[in-house]
């Protein structure tokens, strides 16, 4: 790539020099021709005025005129004035006397304009010429013709121009080489790093660019490092998830198998064993259901049946459903509802699942109390219905807060009472709330409890709350 960049930059520099040089020559030649023509016109007028004083006498005979023209021609040849001549034009537009300067013919002149007393001038390539008329006796005219080469060119500067062009090309090649190495080395490093990451070496990192560098290569290095970190964390989370699910599956299966063996051997109380087997089977069923729910949510293969609901009534039902668990754990659980119904347009079963997951999570972590609060609040998107689930548990580490809704994330702090659960509840909450057009967030201070908040659009028609 460095070689291609050097060739490209040298080609650009060379092309620029050629275009600039040729353009300069063209403009200089055009200006030189224009300036030369203007000067020749002035000189032709002055010469024609002087010659007119000599040849314009009415008493001059043809023989005298021809003799004077021959003398003028001999003088021009003696002085080696190739760009100057005086010719006589007859009525038949024939030349008499001296020859025109080299490169010119009678067809190059506008004789009608000359007969009318006008000065004419033009150029043939680099040859610039001008002609002025001189009136002669018996309706004849003489033409004073001046010509001159007008080629600006480089002249003696040609050598310096070529040296400067060569030096510029060399400097361009050197700059391209330095820039090529500077640009391609980070790209080669990125290529090597991505190959290592693709091979499974997820700990690979590129040198972190300084914060002051914001160009594309620095951003590329940062993105590659972020990608590697994300993949590394995802693999760690996946391993943790598999270990957690394996443990959650093995524990109830061990209980089921043990009590089943006891029943087969005729030992123990069959009624108690059946109750334990039934309880453990329900836990397995919940784990499988959570896994299936998350798979459907991620595949967007689930459907919603939205309707107008009272968020407060739905929260109250969820609180009542967890009262036995809260009582078993010596927790106080309550619902704080506004006087009027808070209407939302959502899927009843999915919203009930969201509320149940949040309340279950709060019960699992709370120390003394769980509070569920329903209200409306003003946000940047307008008035929203809000469901807050508050616990007084140990809180969430600040490093865990951005990741609590990730499906495979395992927090650094675990509850003192280890529960048999899938650990997917909050990930399911995030997916369901987003699907219903809402937002879910968490606020927590380590050691001071946690608040999960769900915000949903307010429906226009509020349902009637049962008495």
Q: What is the DSSP string of 12-37?
A: HHHHHHHHHHHHHHHHHHHHHHHHHH
Of 387, 390, 434, 394, give the one whose Cα is nearest residue 411: 394
Give the pLDDT confidence score for residue 334 in this predicted structure.
Answer: 93
pLDDT at 407 over 60: yes
Cα dist from 35 to 149, 150, 152, 174, 352, whole Å = 12, 9, 11, 42, 93
Of 54-68, 201-215, 271-285, 432-446, least confident by mean pLDDT is 54-68
Residues 99 and 85 sit within 8 Å (Cβ to Cβ): yes
Helix or strand holding residue 309 (H, E): strand 306-310
pLDDT at 438 over 60: yes
N-term to C-term CA, the chain: 78
Give the pLDDT confidence score for residue 302 in this predicted structure.
Answer: 65
Q: What is the DSSP string of 129-177?
A: EEEEEEEETTTEEEEEEEEEE-----GGGHHHHHHHHHHHHHHHHHHHH
Backbone angles phi, psi at 412, to 5 degrees: -70, -30
For a pLDDT cut of 90, what percent of the chain falls above it? 15
Give the pLDDT confidence score for residue 368 in this predicted structure.
Answer: 92
Cα dist from 341 to 248, 315, 467, whole Å = 40, 12, 12
Q: Six-digit token pair at 107?
A: 């067809």
pLDDT at 464 over 70: no
Q: Which residue has the higher pLDDT, 203 or 442?
A: 442
Q: Which residue has the higher pLDDT, 369 or 34?
A: 369
Kindly tell me the burial class for residue 85, based on how many C-beta atoms sit within 10 Å of its own C-beta (0-12, 13-18, 19 or more).
Answer: buried
Report the pLDDT averaged over residues 132-157: 72
Backbone angles phi, psi at 93, to 5 degrees: 60, 35
Q: What is the DSSP string of 324-337?
A: HHHHHTT-EEEEE-
Report the pLDDT averaged over residues 389-409: 84
Report the pLDDT averaged over residues 152-166: 65
What's the CA gap between 110 and 131, in Å, rounded?
10
Report the pLDDT averaged over residues 231-238: 77
Report the pLDDT averaged over residues 82-95: 71
Query: What domains are defined for the chain?
Result: 2-155 (3.30.450.160), 202-302 (1.10.287.130), 303-457 (3.30.565.10)
pLDDT at 123 over 60: yes
Q: Six-digit token pair at 455?
A: 């915000």
Q: 10 Å Cβ neighbour count for 263?
A: 15
Q: Which residue has the higher pLDDT, 75 or 24?
A: 24
What's the CA gap between 333 and 329, in Å, rounded?
11
Q: Which of 74-83, 103-112, 429-438 has the highest mean pLDDT?
A: 429-438
Render pLDDT for 258-305 as a digit per residue (tens, 0 to 9): 888 888 877 777 888 788 788 778 777 777 776 776 676 666 656 788
Give the pLDDT confidence score for residue 124 in this predicted structure.
Answer: 85
Relative orientation angle of helices 270-299 and 216-265, to the nearest 10 degrees: 160
Give the pLDDT confidence score for residue 229 in this predicted structure.
Answer: 85
Output Rg (C-alpha) for the chain, integer angstroms. Answer: 50
pLDDT band at 375 (very low <50, low <70, confident <90, very high): very high
Only one residue has tokens 């040089």, namely 21
Strand partners, 377: 384
pLDDT at 74 over 70: no
Q: Which residue has the higher pLDDT, 228 or 413?
A: 228
Task: Please provide the average confidence, as pLDDT, over all residues in the chain.
Answer: 78
Backbone angles phi, psi at 386, to 5 degrees: -125, 135
Instruction: For 154-208, list the strands marked E by DSSP.
Output: none
pLDDT at 456 over 90: yes
Q: Where are the alpha helices (DSSP H) in 56-157?
A: 62-78, 111-115
Of 29-33, 34-38, 56-60, least confident by mean pLDDT is 56-60
pLDDT band at 207 (very low <50, low <70, confident <90, very high): confident
pLDDT band at 344 (very low <50, low <70, confident <90, very high): very high
Q: What is the distance, to the nearest Å, from the Cα of residue 154 to the centroid of all Cα atoms in its chain?
A: 46
Sign of the torsion angle spanned by Cα atoms 155, 156, 162, 164: negative
pLDDT at 155 over 60: no
pLDDT band at 63 (very low <50, low <70, confident <90, very high): low
What's the CA gap between 200 and 456, in Å, rounded?
42
């Amino acid at each position: 790539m460095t070689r291609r960049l050097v060739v490209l930059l040298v080609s650009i520099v060379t092309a620029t020099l050629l275009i600039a040089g040729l353009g300069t020559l063209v403009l200089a030649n055009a200006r030189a021709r224009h300036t030369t023509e203007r000067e020749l016109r002035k000189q032709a007028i002055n010469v024609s005025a002087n010659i007119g004083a000599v040849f314009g006498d009415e008493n001059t005979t043809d023989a005298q005129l021809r003799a004077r023209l021959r003398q003028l021609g001999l003088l021009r040849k003696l002085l080696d004035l190739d760009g100057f001549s005086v010719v006589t034009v007859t009525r038949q537009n024939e030349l008499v006397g001296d020859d025109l300067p080299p490169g010119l013919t009678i067809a190059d002149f506008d004789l009608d304009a000359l007969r009318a007393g006008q000065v004419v001038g033009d150029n043939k390539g680099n040859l610039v010429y001008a002609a002025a008329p001189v009136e002669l006796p018996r309706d004849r005219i003489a033409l004073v013709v001046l010509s001159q080469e007008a080629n600006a060119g480089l002249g003696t500067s040609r050598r310096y121009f070529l040296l400067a062009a060569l030096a510029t090309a060399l400097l361009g090649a050197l700059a391209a080489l330095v820039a090529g190495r500077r640009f391609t080395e980070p790209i080669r490093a990125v290529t090597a790093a991505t190959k290592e990451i693709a091979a499974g070496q997820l700990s690979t990192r590129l040198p972190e660019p300084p914060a002051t560098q914001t160009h594309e290569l620095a951003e590329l290095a940062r993105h590659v490092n972020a990608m590697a970190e994300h993949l590394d964390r995802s693999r760690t989370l996946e391993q943790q998830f598999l270990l957690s699910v394996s443990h959650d599956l093995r524990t109830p299966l061990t209980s089921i198998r043990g009590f089943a063996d006891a029943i087969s051997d005729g030992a123990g109380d069959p009624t108690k064993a059946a109750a334990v087997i039934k309880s453990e089977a329900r836990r397995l069923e919940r784990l499988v259901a959570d896994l299936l729910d998350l798979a459907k949510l991620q595949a967007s293969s689930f459907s919603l049946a939205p309707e107008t609901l009272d968020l407060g009534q739905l929260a109250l039902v969820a609180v009542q459903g967890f009262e036995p668990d809260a009582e078993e754990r010596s927790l106080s659980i309550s619902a704080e509802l506004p006087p009027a119904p808070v209407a939302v347009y959502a899927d009843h079963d999915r919203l009930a699942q969201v509320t149940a997951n949040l309340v279950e999570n709060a019960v699992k972590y709370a120390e003394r109390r769980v509070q569920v609060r329903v209200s409306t609040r003003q946000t940047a998107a307008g008035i929203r219905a809000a469901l807050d689930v508050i616990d007084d548990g140990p809180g969430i580490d600040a490093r865990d807060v951005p990741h609590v809704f990730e499906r495979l994330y395992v927090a650094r702090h675990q509850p003192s009472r280890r529960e048999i659960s899938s650990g997917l509840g909050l990930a399911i909450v995030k997916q369901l709330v987003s699907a219903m057009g809402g937002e879910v967030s968490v606020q927590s201070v380590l050691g001071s409890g946690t608040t999960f908040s769900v915000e949903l659009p307010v429906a226009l028609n509020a349902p009637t709350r049962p008495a």
